[in-house]
Copies of this chain bind each other. A is one copy, B any other.
């Protein structure tokens, strides 16, 4: 499929990247229902590792099987399917090339409770290459005590991934030196997006920002500069602007489980604010197969409508 103007424009922002990395970034944008729009809907399934099998797959037991999720991403027309090593190893051979794969390189289980959040490195860039993936994912916790170690590991990963032509998706979850609301406060999420962009992320994944400003100095700055934060669209706009004035791709997770109308309304706001897409796990794969497919297609329609 020929590149659309929008895809070309997005690629033009990554002028320090090699052709291999741009090629895989383009593959993500030229796949599925949203191909060519510069918008993204990605299915991530790391909950088995993060929350345990029964909590993740009990609601829809078909999900115990790794094949199920790859097929769901294909059936619903997602841009990509993201998972930890084991799940991808189980499907990579079988679905080779049918759906772009994104290997999550680090993950955190919830059997242990530790003060400072820190994911285990559960796969390598070379694993992603071996399994035919088009991108790698890495989680950082800005604000946490081990953040520097995480930033440095991320830099190494981005560097190595580029050597193999793989773009890097950064999961940026603020934590640590802040209130619970602060973790999704508009100033904090925007700051996390800026940090991710400065570290060289190709795609930045954040939670939908809330109407809360955590840092007193940021509060002053928002007020002085009259930055609106009332609606989700306002806040998404500020987060996207904080990622190099919108020149880095920012996508949003589904947030708390909610009913379908609320979820779709949030998607509309994200789209209105210039968000580049959604990454939606539990809200998708925990429903029966056909419901999941319908929901994901509804989400895609909203994003497609924005530029269609």
- Spell out A's residues near B (CB within 8 Å): 13, 15-17, 48-49, 51-55, 58-59, 61, 64-66, 84-90, 92-94, 107, 109-114, 118-124, 127, 130-131, 142-145, 147-148, 151-152, 155, 159, 174, 176-178, 187-188, 190-195, 197-201, 215, 217-218, 220-222, 224-225, 227, 238, 241-242, 244-245, 247
- Whether the pair B225, A59 counts as a contact (CB closer than 8 A) is yes
Q: In the complex the two chains form, what is the Cα distance from A177 to B110 in whole Å?
A: 10
**How many angstroms from the CA of A206 to the CA of B192 in the assembled complex?**
28
CA of A215 to CA of B218, assembled, Å:
35
CB distance from A103 to the nearest CB of B (A): 12
Cα of A112 to Cα of B113 in the assembled complex, Å: 20
- Give CA–CA (A25, B121) in the complex, Å: 26
Contacts of A187 in B (CB 8 A): 52, 54
Closest CB of chain B to A125's CB: distance in Å? 12
Question: Measured between C-beta atoms, what is the minimum distance from A102 to chain B in Å?
Answer: 15
Q: Are B198 and A107 in contact (CB under 8 A)?
A: yes
Question: Are A114 and B222 also in contact (CB < 8 A) when A86-B199, A198-B107 are?
Answer: no
Contact between chains at A188 and B244 (CB < 8 Å) = no
CA distance A187 to B58 in the complex (A): 12
Residues of the B chain whose Cβ atoms lie less than 8 Å from the Cβ of A148: 118-120
Across the interface, name the chain B residue whose C-beta is closest to A17. B89
Residues of B within 8 A of A221 (CB): 52, 54-55, 58-59
Q: Which residues of B contact A241 (CB under 8 A)?
A: 53, 61, 64
CA distance A224 to B87 in the complex (A): 25
* Measured CA separation A87–B196 after assembly (Å): 11
B109 touches A142 (CB 8 A): yes
B residues near A178, Cβ cutoff 8 Å: 111
> Roughly how many angstroms separate A118 CA and B55 CA in the complex, as a whole number?
28
- A93 CB to nearest chain B CB (Å): 3
A244 CB contacts on chain B under 8 angstroms: 64-66, 86-87, 90
A139: min CB distance to chain B, Å? 12
- Is B245 within 8 A of A65, CB to CB? yes
| CB neighbours of A112 from chain B (8 A) | 142-145, 147, 176-177
Measured between alpha carbons, how far is A188 from B238 in the docked complex, in Å? 41
Contact call B58/A224, Cβ cutoff below 8 A: yes
The distance in angstroms between the C-alpha atoms of A59 and B225, with both chains bound, is 6
Nearest-CB distance from A246 to chain B (Å)?
9
